Amino acid sequence: MAGGDVEAHYTKDGLYQRIMDALAAIGKDIGNLTPGDLDPVEHFHGRGVAATAEMAKSLNPKPGDEILDIGSGIGGPARYVARTYGCSVVGIDLTAEFCATARRLNGDVGLADKVQIEQGSATDLPFEDGRFDAAYSQNVSMNIADKAAYFGEAFRVLRPGGLFALSDIGLGDGADVLYPVPWSSDGVYSFLLTEQETIAAAEKAGFEVLSVKDHTPVSLQFYQSQRENAARGDIPKLGVFILMGDNAKEKGRNSARNIEEGRVRPLEFVCRRS
Domains and CATH numbers, the chain: 3-169+190-216+267-273 (3.40.50.150)
Task: Write out pLDDT tens, residues 100-154.
Answer: 999 999 999 999 999 999 999 999 999 999 999 999 999 999 999 999 999 999 9
Q: At 6, is the pLDDT very low, low, confident or very high (cuts 50, 70, 90)? A: confident
Composition of the chain by helix, strand, coil, percent to 5: 45, 20, 35
Task: Write out pLDDT tens, residues 31-73.
Answer: 999 999 999 999 999 999 999 999 999 999 999 999 999 999 9
- Cβ neighbourhood burial of 126 (10 Å; 0-12, 13-18, 19+): exposed
Q: What average pLDDT does this structure show over 199-214?
A: 98
Q: What average pLDDT does this structure show over 193-221?
A: 98
Predicted pLDDT of residue 4:
64
3-state DSSP assignment of residue 172: coil
Beta carbons of 96 and 16 less than 8 angstroms apart = no
* Residues in the chain, overall count: 274
pTM here?
Answer: 0.96
Position 1 pLDDT exceeds 50 = no
Q: What is the mean pLDDT of the chain?
A: 96
Contact partners, residue 233, CB within 8 Å, separation at least 6 = none
| Residue 138 CA neighbour count, 13 Å, CB half | 25
For 37-95, the three-class secondary structure string (H helix, E strand, C coil) is HHHHHHCCCCCHHHHHHHHHHHHCCCCCCEEEEECCCCCHHHHHHHHHHCCEEEEEECC
Predicted pLDDT of residue 2:
53
Predicted pLDDT of residue 24:
97
Q: What average pLDDT does this structure show over 231-235?
A: 91
